[in-house]
Amino acid sequence: MRAIELAASLGCTLEGEDVELTAAAPLETASTAELSFVANAKASAAAADSGAGCLIVPLEFSAGRTVIRSTNPRASFAQALTLLYPAPPRSGIHPTAIIDETAEVAPGVEIGAYTVVGARCRIGEGATLHSRVTLYADVSVGPRTIIHSGAVLGADGFGFQWTGEQYQKFPQVGRVEIGSDVEIGANCTVDRAALGVTRIGDGTKLDNMVHIAHNCQLGRHVVIAAQTGMAGGCAVGDRAVIGGQVGFGEKVRVEPGAIIGSGAGILSNKIVRAGEPVWGTPARPLRRYLRDLGEVSRLSSLRQQVAALKRPEPRP
């Protein structure tokens, strides 16, 4: 693709030579036929030594080379990747896929090898289920949603009642609803509700190996990084950002726009407020977490001071 064609497709401005671009690469390794981008001051410094044939850069970038100027270089670069690396043609439903006769599959759906779609499932137009995805009964998947390999949607929630002698299973008779434009990473699990619905809102993105328990309610455009796990009944507001390896107790509520740092632990029934990122276990506002961390680091010095005070005075 010519650089001038790419710039026009992005709605941006080209400066410099109209080079032929065949691929994209990091700044450090890009060649004269490859595209790269500059998104921050550190990258701007590295750009001087880059061999890239063309760079997507901020409006204020000092050029002297072939560049495409953008108000949001990272977003423009992401769009450019879809043009340089067009998706392969959709192949439809693989012959090894097992689809229950009661399932409803809309036009334009792609279902990969050895995927199983259970009874009464509904899959919206343009959705993609990669290989070895499992949908238990009564799972609905919205249009254009992508579910990666190994994901399991609609398995029973972890519901058991102690009878005095043993645990008795609490029947999980609810369902799962996945909105439109959702992306669910490899080996994620989304449990069906005990009663009612486990719901994931439009535009939400789950990284690999995320667990969403029964009756959880995730809003729109939530992002959750890998290895995060939620106990039952949690509610996450729109546009919340959740780091990796976060552990949720049951019935946690996360306000819209809240940010939870990686490795945090949220106790049951807690409310995570928006406004300041939270971190640590138990999770607390970042400034308080850093203050507590500083106090812990000073304990060693304090212990030495106490030990010195306890030492007996030398005899005259």
Is the sign of the CA dihedral 206, 78, 10, 125 positive or negative? negative
At which residue do the structure tokens 């959709």 appear? 90
**36 beta partners:** 55
Catalytic residues: 214
- Among 166, 170, 212, 207, CA closest to 189: 212
